[in-house]
Every structure is written in structure tokens, then in C-alpha cells.
Structure 1
Amino acid sequence: MSVIAFPYPAPVAPNRLRRIGRIVAVGALVCVAGAVLAVPLLWSSDEMLWHWIATQSPLGARPFTLNPGTRFVGALISMIGLAPVIYALLQLSMLFSRFARGEVFVTENAWRIRRMGLALIVNALISPLVQMLTTINLTRANVPGQLVVMFGIEQSQVLSVLSGLALVAFATVMADAVRVWHENSEII
């Protein structure tokens, strides 16, 4: 009787993988902290807010009103918009923490990759809504007739959905590969 066995994956240099894992895990946490800190800094600074609205916001040169209420609501809307990104970054940090510990071919890693993909999709889907709520918030205190409602889909959002779908597909393939690898390792 012949036994077909798949060889174990080629070993990755453990020290190199551990170092990369630690760097990415810590880097993702730094990005989370930076994103969380950036929201109150943005909405509390007149200069940064004016620059952001003029260059990054769809409002551009249209009139808008800044007061404590619009700043607070704007910060809340921004945090809602950042929630999927923060979740994806936390999943990335946990994934690479496992890599740093040498846990590469485990099913939990596939599910973390899947969660990152789903977070990218959710982020792309809520981004137009967040953009619309932000423009309404910034213009709701304007004089009557100057309320602005903007809704749009950008190329980056479409690419985010496609990237998320690719990660979900990759996670599904990885979960099956891990299952087959474990089954074959029991045969040997």
C-alpha cells in the first residue's frame, strides 16, 4: 500500500519571522494609538480642521460652521468610521504576534485574516455614510439653504472591498490548507 504524504512547508527562518512578527504587531498597535489620538487632535485644532476640510473633505470651499457641537459630533462620526480600521489593525497585530511566537499554520490565523478582510469590506461600505454624515454635521448650523449633503463612492472604497474579498478568499484557502496539513501530518 502506498501512502501519499505532503512534505511540511519549507521552514521559515524562525528568528527572522519572529522579528518581523514583533515589528508588525507593535507597528499595528502604534497605528491604532495614532488613529485614536488623531481624531480628538483633528477636531480640536482649527488649523488642522480647516486644512483637512479644504483638501480632504468633499466640502472644499463651501461654507461650514465650527462650534463645540459640530466638533463633538464630528469626532464621534470619525470614530465610527475608524472602528473597522481599528478592528482590522488589532487583528493584524494579533496575527503577527502569533507569527512571532512561531504559530504560523494554525486555523485561528486564517480566521484572523478573514476578520481583517471583513473589516475592510465594512469600512468601504460605511465610508460613504460617514462622509455624508460629516458633511451634514459641518453644514447643519449654516444659514438656511446652505445645508450640504454629499454622498459618493471613491475608487479606494471599491479597491478596499476587492481587497477584503481577496483576504476572505485567502483565509478560506488557508483554513483548508491547515486542515489538510494537519490531516496529513497525522498519517505520517
Structure 2
Amino acid sequence: MSVIAFPYPVPAEPRLRRIGRIVAVGALVCVAGAVIAVPLLWSSDEVLRHWIATQSPLGAQPFTLNPGTRFAGALISLIGLAPVLYALLQLSMLFSRFARGEVFVTENAWRIRRMGLALIVGALISPLVQMLTTVNLTRANQPGQIVVMFGIDQSHALSVLSGLALIAFATVMVDAVRLWHENSEII
């Protein structure tokens, strides 16, 4: 049986380096955009009212916008966004390694696992964030008009399944890295 040994790290082809850089930078741009979008959303009456009317479960329910609800809403949004930001940072670091030619390393598997866990955590806290947001926006309403909405939809289940798939892929990758290292030592 013939074994082809590659020097460590594997020299990345130019296409992999380019894709790695694009994804790494793109993920960081998404992180920055998401962090900037939260205060912009909660500071603009027009954007916030449009978002509540079209994207929020409140719909046409009465709600109150004041500095307290805006500040609390921004904090709640950032809590809900935290797992996504973490997953994007892991994605950026993973593809940075790919751009450097570090493909078959155990740390990449751990990054993929962390991304999967972040997807699962994000899906699990999303209904809670939704509930806290509706309570926050309606807490200043008249008694009896406080709205508590809690919902689980298909995207939550899909995020959990995607997270589990990434965790499974990471587990397989750990074994693949181990086998790759064992085979690279055989000449």
C-alpha cells in the first residue's frame, strides 16, 4: 500500500487561501454589522415600529417606546445575538486557519464543535429572548395589556439539527486529523 505524506501544514492552494480570507473577513463584517444594527434598530422609531409590525409577534398589539424599553430591548437583543456572534467569530478563526493552510488540525474540529454548540444555544434561548422582548415592550401598558409571547418555530428546530450536525462533523474530523497525522508519519 502506498502512502502519500504531506508536510505539516498542508500547503493551501490559492483558491482555498482566497476563500479562507473572504469568509474570515466576511464573518467579521457580519459581526460588526450585527453589533451596530442593534443600537440603530432600538434608536429609530420608524425602523422599530416597522420591525414590531412585521417581524415581532406583537403585530398590532399596543406597546410603549421610551428610553427604558429601548435600552432594555437593546440589551435583550444583544443577549439573543451573543451565540450568533460567537459562532461567526469561530467561523472567522476557522477560515483564517484554512487561509494559512492549517486544514487538518484538531483546533479546527473544536471550532466547528463550538459553532454547533452556539447554534444550539441560540435556538434554545431564542424563545426566551422573544418572550422578554414582548414583555419589555408592553410592560408600560395599562394593567391587563402586558403581552407574554413564547413560541418555537421550525427555524429553532433546524438550528438545533444543524448544530448537532456540526458537532457530529467535528467528532468525525477529530478522528480524521488523528488518522492523517498517523499516516503522515509513515513513509
TM-score, length basis structure 1: 0.94
Q: Residue 75 of structure 2 aligns to which amino acid in structure 1?
A: L
One-letter code of the match for 1:44? S
Aligned-residue CA RMSD (Å): 1.5
Mapped to 2, the partners of 1:28 and 1:170 lie a distance apart of 20
Q: 1:169-188 to 2 correspondence within 5 Å?
A: 169-188=168-187
The number of residues matched between the two structures is 184
Partners of 2:27 and 2:92 within 8 A in 1: yes
Aligned-pair CA distance for 1:7: 4.3
Counterpart mapping for 1:33-112 below 5 A: 33-112=32-111
In structure 2, the partner of 1:163 is 162
Per the TM alignment, residue 154 of structure 1 is displaced from its structure 2 partner at its CA by 0.8
Identity between Structure 1 and Structure 2 (%): 85
User: For the structure 1 residues 158 and 100, does the alpha-carbon distance in structure 2 shift closer, same or farther, using more than 3 Å as the test?
Assistant: same
> Given the alignment of the two structures, is residue 30 of structure 1 paired with residue 29 of structure 2, yes or no?
yes
Normalised by the length of structure 2, the TM-score is: 0.95
1:93, 1:61 → 2: CA distance? Answer: 39
| Paired letter, 1:41 | L
Deviations 1:62-97 (A, max 9, x none): 000000000000000000000000000000000000
1:6 Cα shift?
5.1
Deviation at 1:186, TM superposition (A): 1.3
Whole-Å separation in 2 of the counterparts to 1:61 and 1:96: 43
Per-residue deviation, 1:5: 5.7
Unpaired runs of 5+ in structure 1? none
